[in-house]
């Protein structure tokens, strides 16, 4: 069932088996027969790790959904009752009620009660158990750190779409800690990441936590066993790139146009599964569960394609299956009949998959051809191209007038604000006033949240915001609460003036049929737009540079118009004066210096690294990364030494990776990733002579609806009692 996990750049089934062995080892400690009560939200993630049949083999006779019911009690024949739950006071209260009912019904019972908390059990929940005097009835509480789950052959995800909101607005760090825990487990299986390059304050924080927690784990293990196995495992990756979602908040707001992206937009995808709603009048509430992964050959071919190409691919598949069926009917010889019989299961499964995806494509075709979708897409293209970004857009006004879903209105408003470098005060107040008057005052906090993260802000109040950010220590949790807004507004202010042109984010259509043209292939994903995040990964992994610009020996060179050189140089300086001036040293201390000092440091830093034979960011990558606001940080994890630059160079040696070896690069997105971004990076890896493969590690998958929903905070009116 999970065979596809072993077909990627890394055998991700090893990660699944690691979780599985830990869960089953703990389960075997409880007496059989066992009964498990599941919190509903954990059935899917734990189900990826252990199936029902495997649980039966380990003594689980019954599985139930944990519900708030007054007549629920454990089966009479079980000896152990196990609650698999999240850390939640309401669920703990439900467990208390359950145990209390059991105690009344089975007065002389010797059954045990155990809690498996995923991924941890909070201090508040432990105290609540003590207050309810239930802690004596619970024999054990085990924390099962199920964090990064393998959901596809090249994707590992926490499936926490609210992570960005948690660290940028709510100032909660729990998701970040769990993400680092997952990276530690990943390293324990696939070896250390030799190099870690991060972009953005929260990405820097993740890298530092990862290195610190690794050292702590190794020290603790050395004290017990005398060895630190992380250093003994051969590294199966060449590099880890960590991106903070704040560096590119525009992409999650845009409508996805790939097949998988559109499925996410319309129905959502969670743990590699989507649930299609049945539109028939007889079964309005019926849903159909469809698994989406590489096991499905039809989906594997469709998933990364722009929806405009889906029809021709399905037609080709249909003709191939029809030809096979025709061939089977014409067979008469016995040897050929045996071959045909062996092919029948494969043909049958191919036909079923084709029928499923043809049905999905038909529903998506109706979805993308609605006036609402087409007009919204047209408005998004206007904003990306810089048309009518400084005044009220007619389609936004129309949406407000007909009370379209507020997420659609906020999506377009945020895109307009981002592409314009903020909105003029008069326009912003007009939009907010219209929203509050038409949709109600309960959306006041949502508008404030969007301002606090920099997605909907007054352009006149952003002057100098990046300069103040230079004094922020990007490595301190307490001092990075406002880093997200600073980065978002800095990228936004540069989007229209420099980033759009210098990073070639908009690719004009061409009649060229060159299948090796990476820019055209990438632009096809978003119908002309290449995400900033993709350009950053392209630069860091391949040393990409726009065709019209080259960087060499610390000087900017231009092969195009002289104005481009001027704009590029201006953008580079602007980027450093905003947020990118922070270049982290190898001890984790930020160097917030003036541009000239930073340039000297970077130049000296690179020359020392090159002379030692260590592969580092080349000039192209350094140039592109510094064009984009956001703190940059590098760590080397070699020979258990991660400290000052000199110490690293003394221990690294000059060993290099063979040129013909395919590089495996892990790309981690802190705050979430879209399916279309994954498609774009898969396309990048498959083009030309890239000679690399990506593994995607993320806190969760996003689309415009879920991204904005996580940032929303509605006010719920309360019915007052009459006097």
- Write the pLDDT tens digit of every residue in 467-525: 333 333 444 444 555 788 999 999 999 999 899 999 999 998 776 655 567 888 899 89
User: Do the Cβ atoms of 380 and 389 come closer than 8 Å?
Assistant: no
DSSP, collapsed to helix, strand or coil, labels residue 551 as strand
Q: Where are the alpha helices (DSSP H) in 331-443?
A: 334-368, 371-384, 394-401, 406-419, 425-439
User: Do 549 and 643 share a domain, yes or no?
Assistant: yes
DSSP, collapsed to helix, strand or coil, labels residue 659 as coil
Q: For residues 470-502, b (16+ Cβ closer than 10 Å) or e, as one string?
A: bebbbbeeeebbbbbbbbbbbbbbbbbebbbbb
Q: Is 72 inside a domain boundary?
A: yes
User: Do 401 and 492 share a domain, yes or no?
Assistant: no
Mean pLDDT within 188-204: 93
pLDDT of residue 416: 97
pLDDT of residue 333: 67
693 DSSP β-pair partners:
664
What share of the chain has pLDDT > 90, as a percent?
53
Average pLDDT, the chain: 81
Is the bond leading into 415 cis (omega within 30 degrees of zero)? Answer: no
Decide if pLDDT at 237 tops 90: yes
In angstroms, rounded to a whole number, what is the distance separating the alpha carbons of residues 659 and 691? 9
Name every residue whose Cβ is closer than 8 Å to that of residue 372 and which is 6 or more positions away in sequence: 404, 408
Name every residue whose Cβ is closer than 8 Å to that of residue 558 and which is 6 or more positions away in sequence: 548, 549, 550, 564, 565, 568
Is the bond leading into 119 cis (omega within 30 degrees of zero)? Answer: yes
DSSP conformation class of 267:
T
User: Do 403 and 485 share a domain, yes or no?
Assistant: no
Q: Is 200 inside a domain boundary?
A: yes
Q: What is the CATH number of the domain that holds 424?
A: 1.25.40.850
DSSP, collapsed to helix, strand or coil, labels residue 385 as coil
User: Do 317 and 390 share a domain, yes or no?
Assistant: no
Q: What is the CATH number of the domain that holds 184?
A: 3.40.50.1910
Q: Which of 409, 430, 452 is the last residue of a domain?
A: 452
User: Do the Cβ atoms of 610 and 616 come closer than 8 Å?
Assistant: yes
User: Do the Cβ atoms of 412 and 395 come closer than 8 Å?
Assistant: yes
User: Do the Cβ atoms of 650 and 504 come closer than 8 Å?
Assistant: no
Instruction: Give 622's pLDDT tier (boundaries 50, 70, 90).
Output: confident
Domain that holds residue 587: 147-232+244-249+465-666+679-711
Q: What is the CATH number of the domain that holds 314?
A: 3.90.830.10
584 DSSP β-pair partners:
590
DSSP, collapsed to helix, strand or coil, labels residue 161 as coil
Q: Is 19 inside a domain boundary?
A: no
Decide if pLDDT at 600 tops 50: no
User: Do 624 and 639 share a domain, yes or no?
Assistant: yes
Q: Is 301 inside a domain boundary?
A: yes
- Strand order, beta sheet including 138-143: 60-65, 34-38, 80-85, 112-117, 138-143
User: Do 322 and 415 share a domain, yes or no?
Assistant: no
227-235: which pairs have CB atoms within 8 A and are 24 or more residues apart?
228/640, 229/188, 230/187, 230/188, 230/191, 230/192, 231/192, 231/639, 231/640, 233/187, 233/188, 233/189, 233/190, 233/191, 233/192, 234/191, 235/190, 235/191, 235/192, 235/193, 235/194
Q: Is 430 inside a domain boundary?
A: yes
Mean pLDDT within 433-462: 92
What would you report as the CA-atom Rg of the chain, rounded to the nearest whole angstrom?
27
User: Do 357 and 492 share a domain, yes or no?
Assistant: no
Q: Is 459 inside a domain boundary?
A: no
How remote is the C-alpha of 358 from its chain's centroid? 28
Instruction: Give 658's pLDDT tier (boundaries 50, 70, 90).
Output: low
- Flag the least confident range among 127-131, 148-152, 191-195: 127-131
DSSP conformation class of 577:
I
Mean pLDDT within 35-49: 92
pLDDT of residue 348: 87
**Exposure of 178 by Cβ count < 10 A (0-12 exposed, 13-18 middle, 19+ buried)?**
buried
User: Do the Cβ atoms of 154 and 8 come closer than 8 Å?
Assistant: yes
Nearest CA to 142 out of 26, 16, 63 is that of 26
Distances (CA, A) of 709 to 373, 419, 698, 713: 19, 21, 19, 8
β-pairing, 555-558 vs 138-143, is: unpaired
Decide if pLDDT at 68 tops 80: no
Q: Which of 117, 146, 175 is the last residue of a domain?
A: 146
Q: 346-362, pLDDT tens digit by residue?
A: 888 889 999 999 999 99
Mean pLDDT within 689-694: 86
291 DSSP β-pair partners:
273
pLDDT of residue 44: 92
User: Do 365 and 304 share a domain, yes or no?
Assistant: yes
Decide if pLDDT at 401 tops 80: yes
Q: 242-279, pLDDT tens digit by residue?
A: 999 999 999 999 999 999 999 999 999 999 999 998 65
pLDDT of residue 202: 94
pLDDT of residue 34: 92
User: Do 565 and 688 share a domain, yes or no?
Assistant: yes
- Flag the least confident range among 289-298, 321-330, 340-349, 636-645: 636-645
Q: What is the CATH number of the domain that holds 133?
A: 3.40.50.2060
Specify the higher pLDDT residue, 369 or 550.
369
DSSP conformation class of 255:
P
In angstroms, rounded to a whole number, what is the distance separating the alpha carbons of residues 352 and 346? 10
In angstroms, rounded to a whole number, what is the distance separating the alpha carbons of residues 194 and 531? 27
pLDDT of residue 597: 32
pLDDT of residue 474: 42
User: Do the Cβ atoms of 201 and 474 come closer than 8 Å?
Assistant: yes
β-pairing, 195-199 vs 632-636, is: antiparallel
Nearest CA to 452 out of 720, 653, 168 is that of 168
| Number of Cβ atoms within 10 Å of the Cβ of 222 | 11
User: Do the Cβ atoms of 253 and 414 come closer than 8 Å?
Assistant: yes
User: Do the Cβ atoms of 572 and 556 come closer than 8 Å?
Assistant: yes
Nearest CA to 1 out of 16, 18, 21, 19 is that of 16
User: Do 130 and 174 share a domain, yes or no?
Assistant: no
| Number of Cβ atoms within 10 Å of the Cβ of 225 | 9
Q: Which of 452, 480, 511 is the last residue of a domain?
A: 452
Nearest CA to 456 out of 443, 440, 441, 438 is that of 443
Nearest CA to 190 out of 5, 315, 319 is that of 5
In angstroms, rounded to a whole number, what is the distance separating the alpha carbons of residues 542 and 694? 12
User: Do 403 and 429 share a domain, yes or no?
Assistant: yes
Count the residues in the chain: 723
- Flag the least confident range among 415-419, 530-534, 542-546: 542-546
Q: How far apart are the first and last CA of the chain?
A: 62
User: Do the Cβ atoms of 79 and 35 come closer than 8 Å?
Assistant: no
User: Do the Cβ atoms of 565 and 558 come closer than 8 Å?
Assistant: yes
User: Do the Cβ atoms of 639 and 652 come closer than 8 Å?
Assistant: yes
Q: Is 313 inside a domain boundary?
A: yes
Nearest CA to 474 out of 348, 581, 319, 564 is that of 581
Q: Is 716 inside a domain boundary?
A: no
Mean pLDDT within 280-291: 68
Decide if pLDDT at 589 tops 90: no
Mean pLDDT within 202-228: 83
Distances (CA, A) of 60 to 35, 37, 701: 6, 11, 33
Decide if pLDDT at 569 tops 60: no
User: Do 537 and 658 share a domain, yes or no?
Assistant: yes
Q: Report how many domains make up the chain.
A: 4
């Amino acid at each position: 069932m999970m065979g596809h996990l072993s077909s990627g750049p890394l055998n991700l089934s090893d990660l699944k088996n690691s979780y599985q062995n830990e869960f089953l080892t703990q389960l075997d400690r409880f007496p059989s027969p066992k009964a498990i009560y599941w919190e509903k939200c954990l059935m899917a993630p734990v189900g990826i790790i252990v199936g029902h049949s495997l649980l039966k083999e380990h003594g689980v006779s019954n599985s139930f959904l944990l519900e708030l019911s007054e007549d629920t009690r454990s089966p009479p024949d079980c000896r152990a009752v196990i609650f698999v739950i999240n850390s939640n006071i309401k669920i703990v209260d439900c467990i208390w009620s359950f145990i209390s009912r059991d105690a009344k019904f089975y007065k002389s019972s010797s059954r045990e009660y155990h809690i498996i908390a995923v991924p941890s059990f909070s201090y508040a929940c432990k105290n609540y158990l003590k207050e309810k005097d239930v802690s004596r009835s619970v024999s054990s509480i085990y924390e099962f750190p199920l964090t990064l789950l393998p959901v596809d052959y090249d994707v590992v995800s926490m499936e926490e779409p609210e992570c960005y909101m948690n660290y940028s607005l709510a100032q909660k760090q729990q998701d970040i800690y769990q993400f680092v825990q997952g990276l530690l487990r990943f390293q324990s299986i696939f070896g250390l990441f030799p190099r870690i390059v991060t972009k953005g304050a929260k990405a820097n924080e993740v890298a530092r936590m990862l290195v610190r927690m690794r050292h702590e784990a190794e020290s603790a293990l050395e004290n017990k066993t005398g060895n630190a196995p992380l250093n003994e495992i051969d590294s199966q990756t060449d590099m880890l790139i960590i991106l903070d979602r704040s560096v590119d908040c525009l992409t999650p707001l845009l409508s996805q146009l790939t097949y998988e992206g559109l499925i996410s937009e319309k129905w959502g995808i969670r743990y590699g599964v989507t649930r299609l709603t049945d539109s028939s009048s007889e079964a309005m509430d019926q849903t159909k569960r469809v698994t989406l992964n590489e096991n499905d050959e039809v989906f594997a071919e469709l998933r990364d394609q722009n929806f405009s190409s889906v029809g021709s691919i399905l037609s080709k598949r249909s003709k191939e299956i029809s030809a096979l069926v025709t061939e089977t009917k014409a067979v008469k010889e016995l040897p050929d009949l045996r071959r045909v019989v062996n092919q029948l299961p494969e043909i049958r499964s191919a036909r079923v998959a084709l029928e499923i995806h043809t049905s999905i494509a038909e529903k998506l075709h109706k979805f993308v051809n609605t006036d609402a979708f087409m007009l919204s897409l047209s408005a998004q293209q206007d904003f990306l191209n810089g048309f009518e970004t400084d005044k009220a857009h007619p389609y936004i006004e129309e949406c407000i007038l007909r009370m379209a879903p507020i997420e659609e209105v906020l999506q377009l408003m945020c895109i307009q604000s981002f592409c314009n470098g903020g909105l003029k005060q008069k326009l912003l107040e007009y939009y907010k006033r219209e929203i509050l008057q038409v949709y109600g005052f309960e959306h006041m906090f949502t508008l404030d949240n969007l301002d606090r993260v920099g997605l909907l802000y007054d352009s006149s109040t952003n002057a100098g915001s990046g300069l103040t950010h230079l004094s922020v220590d990007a490595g301190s949790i307490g001092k990075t609460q406002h880093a997200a807004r600073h980065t978002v507004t800095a990228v936004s202010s540069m989007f229209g003036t420099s980033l759009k042109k210098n990073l070639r984010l908009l690719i004009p259509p061409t009649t060229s049929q060159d299948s090796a043209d990476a820019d055209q292939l990438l632009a096809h994903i978003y119908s002309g737009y290449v995400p900033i995040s993709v350009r950053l990964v392209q630069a860091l992994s391949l040393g990409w540079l726009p065709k019209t610009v080259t960087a060499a020996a610390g000087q900017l060179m231009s092969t195009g118009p002289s104005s481009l050189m001027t704009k590029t140089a201006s953008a580079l300086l602007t980027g450093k004066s905003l947020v990118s001036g922070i270049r982290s040293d190898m001890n984790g201390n930020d160097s917030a210096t003036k541009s000239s000092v930073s340039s000297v440091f970077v130049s000296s830093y690179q020359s020392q690294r090159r002379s030692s034979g260590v592969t580092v960011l080349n000039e192209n990558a350094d140039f592109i990364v510094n064009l984009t606001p956001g703190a940059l940080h590098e760590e080397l994890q070699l020979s258990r030494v991660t400290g000052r630059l000199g110490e690293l160079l003394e221990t690294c040696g000059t060993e290099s990776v063979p040129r013909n070896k395919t590089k495996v690069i892990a790309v981690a997105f802190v705050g979430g990733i879209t399916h279309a971004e994954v498609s774009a990076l898969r396309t990048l890896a498959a083009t030309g002579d890239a000679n690399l493969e990506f593994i995607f590690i993320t806190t969760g998958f996003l689309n415009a609806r879920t991204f904005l929903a996580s940032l929303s905070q509605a006010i719920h009116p309360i019915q007052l009692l009459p006097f």
